[in-house]
Amino acid sequence: MTTLYNFKQITPVPTGGDFLDIVLSKTQRKTPTVIHANFAISRIRNFYMRKVKFTQESFDERLKAILDEFPKLDDIHPFYSDLMNVLYDKDHYKLALGQMNTARHLIDQVGKDYVRLLKFGDSLYRCKQLKKAAMGRMATIMRRQKDSLAYLEQVRQHLARLPSIDPNTRTLLVCGYPNVGKSSFMNKITRADVDVQPYAFTTKSLFVGHMDYKYLRWQVIDTPGILDHPLENRNTIEMQSITALAHLRCCVLYFIDLSERCGYSIKEQVSLFHSIKPLFANKPVMLIINKIDAMKIEDVSAEDRQLLDDIVEKDKAQMLGMSCYTDEGVMNVKQTACDRLLQARVDAKMKGQKINDVLNKIHLTKPVPRDDNPRLPHIPEGALTKPKYDAQDPNRPKLEKDLEAEAGGAGVYNIDLKKRYLLESEEWKHDIIPEIWEGHNVADFIDSDIQEQLDELEREEERLEAEGYYKSDDEELNSEDEALQSTANAIRERNSITQIEARLKTVKNRPTLPKTAIKRKVSEVADHFESLGLDGTEVENRARSRAPKRARSASRGESVARSASMAARPSGGEGSVVRDRTTLGVRNVKQKLESEKVRQLSMRNANLHAKRGESDRAIQTKMPKHLFSGKRKSGSTDRR
């Protein structure tokens, strides 16, 4: 229901003065405000035409929102339509909405007329006066609607306070004379909290509570008390109950107070039941005898008992007793009422036309006997007389729990999961090789005669060896082959030594000499050795022999030529060829141009953002001075 009739979401309706202030201030804020007489006349006309059009559209938008949000009595459920007629007077409500619609059309017509006149304005003064006249007429129309706006705001506030009643769901409706215990019963079976007082007409409007029964959600409606007098004499409070009884599909719980503490006799309460009985048509009715703690059904007089029995017999009403004070029979009344309503809803569906469409889609298959042999149900012997497990019986079968206790308890006993395997041989139960391994049958990959075949192969090998099948004459190598083999061995040895030396050169943690030792001269090293009592001559000679010797050039021109040739030689070493890096991996000039075009396209996004490359994330100036300093002028906040 909340999705269909959510009256709490209706927008508040402003008063007549507030309505004008909202629209005119919006026009002032949303349209240009500066105009000069030296502007072109077309520009002046467009300026004032825009003002008039915007004001007319603002009025139209607000009035249309009011007309759309308020419910239309012809489009909503009859229960809500009649309830609004009872509470607000249907004619007055329609008249107020009609005046809003008329004002909307009048304002639209005024806007169109003055826009047409503004097209022929010949000066700034004439156009301004036409604009003032247009807005003045629109304001006059809205000032005349102040009473309708005030009335609609009162209706909106009252609609927001109405309970959310779903006219189509499972409903229990409680009715009867005032002060017979209707609200007390509702507080008992639902989560509602209805005010309960010891005087009549405590409940002045409809109250809704919810409960759960058989995993279904039910709503319970507490109605104001009804008095037994003609319909035209009933007030607004009573008419709410009459409206609910007339339009809601529900189970009616009619409460009767046998103790007559409510202020009305049993005869008057029965008379009220018969007067509103036409509203109970096609609804399950239950006669609830309340306050049985003060007066039981058996204690009433014979005349009053006959009145109650007539209701049960003639009107097919079920009579139940209960007491909200002692909670006696309250749950029984709730369950019985829910069951009766469920059965009534099922019967109504069975009588409708939709059931035929459902039954046409259902086909019940009945098996046909294939012969005349009777096949009675069979129950195995002992299935129903099987003795229960008795822990004290010494002859009972041993369980794993008993075996565990005998073997030393938990942590000592290890259950044998293979002892119940059903195999051809008992010896196979504890076989190490399983039957199935990773989804494959192990027997498919094992030959049962593997041992015999292996023995036969060994006998054949012995026979071939005895016959000399594997024997061969070793040919002596000649001198050329020996020389070739020795050369190959020497090459292999030299390669291994070269690899070891290369590894030693690349080791990063090799010991290095201190800088002081590197800066020492050969003569200083020789003197140091002599101070230690050693001969430094050999060390000095070896160092001088290993020093690089600079080749003398024949002339200065030769050295200059050599240096120029060295500078011109590429870094790849002697014999390398200089190539353009942009042509590497490209077959021809066409392919090179295509690759250059793709490269430029990939750089377009970065170029648009003035990036140096794909990894450029720098923000050059996070707070530009021209944007964050000085006085801000009127206008848009967006600097772009």
pLDDT tens-digit readout, 20-48: 999 999 999 999 988 898 899 999 999 99
pLDDT at 261 over 60: yes
The DSSP element (H or E) to which 286 belongs, if any, is strand 285-290
- Encode 567-585 in three state secondary structure: HHCCCCCCCCCCCCHHHCC
- Encode 32-81 in three state secondary structure: CCCCCCCCCHHHHHHHHHHHHHHHHHHHHHHHHHHHHHCCCCCCCCHHHH
pLDDT at 7 over 50: yes
Can you give the pLDDT at residue 54?
A: 94
Q: Based on the domain organization, do 243 and 132 belong to the same domain?
A: no
Say how far apart CA 215 and CA 146 lie, in whole Å: 51
Can you give the pLDDT at residue 2?
A: 39
The DSSP element (H or E) to which 209 belongs, if any, is strand 207-213
Q: Based on the domain organization, do 151 and 208 belong to the same domain?
A: no
Residue type, 438: E
Range of the domain at 26: 8-158
pLDDT at 410 over 50: yes
Can you give the pLDDT at residue 109?
A: 95
Q: Based on the domain organization, do 149 and 175 belong to the same domain?
A: no
Chain segment 268-321, per-residue pLDDT in tens = 888 888 888 888 888 888 888 888 888 888 888 888 888 888 888 887 788 888
Q: Based on the domain organization, do 234 and 190 belong to the same domain?
A: yes
> Interhelix angle for 90-118 vs 124-143, to 10°?
180
Q: Based on the domain organization, do 179 and 154 belong to the same domain?
A: no
Q: Based on the domain organization, do 31 and 173 belong to the same domain?
A: no
Can you give the pLDDT at residue 478?
A: 66
Radius of gyration of the CA atoms of the chain, in A: 54
Chain segment 450-478, per-residue pLDDT in tens = 888 889 999 998 888 888 887 765 545 56
Q: CB-based contacts of 488: which residues, under 8 Å, 6+ apart?
A: none
**Window from 71-75, 318-322, 392-396 with minimum mean pLDDT:** 392-396
Give the residue, 515 or 159, on which the prediction is more confident: 159
Say how far apart CA 58 and CA 21 lie, in whole Å: 12
Average of per-residue pLDDT values in the chain: 81
At 71, which CATH number?
1.20.120.1190
Q: Which of these three, 130, 158, 186, is where a domain ends?
A: 158
pLDDT at 426 over 80: yes
DSSP string, 587-613: -SHHHHHHHHHHHHHHTHHHHHTT-SS
* Residue 208 structure tokens: 């809704």
Cβ atoms of residues 295 and 259 within 8 Å = yes
Q: Based on the domain organization, do 142 and 221 belong to the same domain?
A: no
Least Cα distance to 165 among 173, 157, 154 occurs for 173
Q: Which of these three, 324, 353, 382, is where a domain ends?
A: 353
**Mean pLDDT highest for which of 48-62, 217-231, 355-369, 543-557?**
48-62
pLDDT at 110 over 90: yes
Query: How much is the average pLDDT of 326-335?
Result: 88
Q: Based on the domain organization, do 178 and 136 belong to the same domain?
A: no
Chain segment 591-612, per-residue pLDDT in tens = 888 888 888 888 887 787 777 7
Look at phi and psi of residue 77 and say left if phi exceeds 0, alpha if psi is from -120 to 50, else beta.
beta
* Residue 272 structure tokens: 């009220």
Cβ atoms of residues 330 and 291 within 8 Å = no
Give the residue, 352 or 551, on which the prediction is more confident: 352
pLDDT at 343 over 80: yes
At 281, which CATH number?
3.40.50.300
**pLDDT category of residue 633 using cuts at 50, 70 and 90:** low
| Backbone dihedral angles phi then psi of residue 288, each to the nearest 5 degrees | -100, 115
**pLDDT category of residue 554 using cuts at 50, 70 and 90:** very low
Say how far apart CA 531 and CA 148 lie, in whole Å: 124
Bridge partner residues of 441 (DSSP):
436
pLDDT at 566 over 60: no
pLDDT at 538 over 80: no
Give the residue, 125 or 625, on which the prediction is more confident: 125
Is 525 inside any structural domain? Answer: no
**Window from 65-74, 242-251, 501-510 with minimum mean pLDDT:** 501-510
Task: Please state the domain count of the chain.
Answer: 2
Can you give the pLDDT at residue 421?
A: 86
Cα of 392 vs its chain's centroid, Å:
58
**Window from 175-179, 219-223, 581-585 with minimum mean pLDDT:** 581-585
418 three-state secondary structure: coil
**pLDDT category of residue 570 using cuts at 50, 70 and 90:** very low
**Window from 93-107, 175-189, 250-264, 528-542 with minimum mean pLDDT:** 528-542
Q: Based on the domain organization, do 185 and 334 belong to the same domain?
A: yes
Is 338 inside any structural domain? Answer: yes
Is 418 inside any structural domain? Answer: no
Is 124 inside any structural domain? Answer: yes
Say how far apart CA 47 and CA 421 lie, in whole Å: 98
Is 309 inside any structural domain? Answer: yes
Is 395 inside any structural domain? Answer: no
Question: For the chain, first and last CA: distance in Å?
Answer: 49
**pLDDT category of residue 132 using cuts at 50, 70 and 90:** very high
pLDDT at 560 over 50: no
Q: What is the DSSP letter of 231?
A: G
Give the residue, 551 or 635, on which the prediction is more confident: 635
pTM over 0.75: no
What share of the chain has pLDDT > 70, as a percent?
Answer: 85
Q: What is the DSSP letter of 445?
A: G
Say how far apart CA 31 and CA 522 lie, in whole Å: 96
Q: Are strands 216-222 and 171-176 parallel, antiparallel or unpaired?
A: parallel
Q: Based on the domain organization, do 116 and 221 belong to the same domain?
A: no
**Torsion sign across C-alpha atoms 460, 465, 466, 468:** positive
Q: Based on the domain organization, do 247 and 301 belong to the same domain?
A: yes
Q: CB-based contacts of 301: which residues, under 8 Å, 6+ apart?
A: none
Is 601 inside any structural domain? Answer: no
Is 50 inside any structural domain? Answer: yes
Q: CB-based contacts of 369: which residues, under 8 Å, 6+ apart?
A: none
Least Cα distance to 288 among 259, 250, 264, 317 occurs for 317
Q: CB-based contacts of 205: which residues, under 8 Å, 6+ apart?
A: 224, 237, 240
Q: Which of these three, 338, 353, 368, is where a domain ends?
A: 353
Say how far apart CA 499 and CA 171 lie, in whole Å: 96
Q: Based on the domain organization, do 229 and 253 belong to the same domain?
A: yes
